[in-house]
Structure 1
């Protein structure tokens, strides 16, 4: 069972977070609750948790000071009322940054991220993995492996399938965290393609490449940052420069 430590200097908020985690992630074993940074550090050394939920402003040691002492294998989530520390938090490799007060939906999103990071990567997406999509009044469960491409649209992503597409309220980065990135290859800043649906790649000139997917007439541009992956001789044999 995965282990977690919660460090929060406000007792009511600590209990609130524990109740919510017990509700939304009952398999998580919360092994310690701490109200100051030094106690949290001691608990982390003693229990070696998989996940630490960490407040930033605490006595003894601040959350930032504590984060600098954590082993790299620890999955860190900052829980704070201040958004000014977000950049610093991600410099420490934080998986997420929960701003108080947060909703159940936001916590569930965080839990999904953590589960994705903590699950072993197999290189394959299970056939029964689905995501709920909606167009108007119609909703359906879309198998993730059948999604052809994903495009960033502000706070949404456009999910492109063979015969239809739908908008999903999820940031592009969060979607990439949710799916298997061995299956979904990012081709530019806001687009990822399902490698299983790749037809061919076309080299337009020395600087530009386009990618074509099976049964889609719409090509996608591969930015220079991601082109090396498609030029590697070990990529699948369907890659073409014609």
Structure 2
């Protein structure tokens, strides 16, 4: 191989062994692509991407525990991405995320070659790491969240909604208070207000979104205002507008 040929590192992420096997087989035709590993889930992929820093990932979207979009959200640097999935409803979202391509399973070698050629061209042009933004990844999320994926250090945690006590505004971030601990997230209160199930989570104050099921009781704070007691350590201010929402949704 000529010294002038640049070789790009690729990682295959898919929970299905046959799908990974096909991609690995197809990639044997490419001298400019070196497969540095394969992962079966997002947790494993997060560590491998951090350690090996691949230039390109082949990423399934629907995977157990953590899906492909959730994985992308917590990556500090995002490689170029070729989505590989059996679900066509994500196609438009994939291109909005500036993905290299979107391969719908089962895909033929010819279609695969088109995607890889695009990736090599993009990498060769000096574009480097992907320009997918966190905001665009969030915008591609479902209308209502079923869980929240957070990253703390080099580990990733999946928080089911029923484990969340409340979400607190922290300037440009939010702090998620859950039974697993506290987690900082680079997202807005408005995002969570619109994406959490409204019958379960209530914006009780400009600084707090509370899990209604976790409110132990209400305590008077001053004239016409109250505190939501979430636990002995956490008593949250309720605004007048928040109290009105609580009354409407909780029926008291």
Q: TM-score, normalised by structure 2?
A: 0.45
Give 1 or 2 for the bigger CA radius of gyration: 2
Q: TM-score, normalised by structure 1?
A: 0.47
